[in-house]
Amino acid sequence: MNLNKHIIYRFESKILNGKTFIFNLDTQDIFLSDEIAFDVLRLIDKEQVDADEIINRINNTYNIDATNKIYEFLDELRRRKVIVEWPDNKKYLKIQMDSFYKLKEGR
């Protein structure tokens, strides 16, 4: 999982009680998220870690269970073309394969 090279992201602690600004320089798409989003993006950007590792790290850092939140966020990142590859993760792979077989079988 890699960050699209056109993406600019930054966390502004003093704006709207702390917001991550995510901007696609190519498509001009811009959206805001929270501080966890910034940590997720940094992990993808700097360490290219997979979804499981992101969840582990975020859960440990914030001492919460952010699993669903992170999956939803990764989904949004994919839809908005912020990340350029589907997460190399068993859960996502299974969803992909299921979708593939459904399509193949005409369901």
Partner 1 sequence: MSKSYLDFIKQNYGDKKFSHLMKKNKLENYLYYFSLKENVRLDSPTIVGLDITSKCNLSCKHCFIGERGYKDELNTKEIQNLLLTLKDMGTYQVYIMGGEPFCREDIMEIIEFIKSLNMTLSVNTNATLIKKEHCKKLSKMLNNDTDWIQISLDGAKSQTHDFIRNSNVFNIVIDNIKMMAQYNIPIRVNTVVTNINIDELSDIYKLCTQIGVQRINFNPLYPFKRETLFVTPSNKDYIKAFEKVLEVHEKLNKPIFIQQDPICIPYTVEEFKEFFDKSSEIVPTLNCRAGLYSFELDPEGNVYPCTFMHQDKFCAGNIRDEDIKNIWKDDRRWTTILLKRYEGYICEECNFVKKCKGGCMAAAYDCFNDINTPDPRCNLVEY
Give the footprint of partner 1 on this chain (CB under 8 A): 5-6, 8-16, 19, 21, 23, 25-26, 28, 30
Q: Distances in Å between the alpha carbon of 55 and those of 4, 7, 27, 41, 79?
A: 20, 22, 28, 12, 19
In the complex, minimum distance from the CB of residue 15 to partner 1, in angstroms, rounded to a whole number: 5
- Cβ neighbors of 53 (< 8 A, separation 6 or more) are 43
Q: Rounded CA gap, 53 and 28, in Å? A: 30
> Minimum CB separation from partner 1 for residue 16, in Å?
7
Please identify, using beta-carbon distances, which residue of 14 and 104 lies nearer to partner 1: 14
CB of 2 to partner 1, least distance (A): 12
Question: Hey, what are 4's tokens?
Answer: 């699209």
- How is residue 62 written in tokens? 């914030």
**DSSP H/E element including 78:** helix 67-79
- Cβ of residue 33: shortest distance to partner 1, in angstroms? 14
- 13 vs 68, which CB is nearer to partner 1? 13
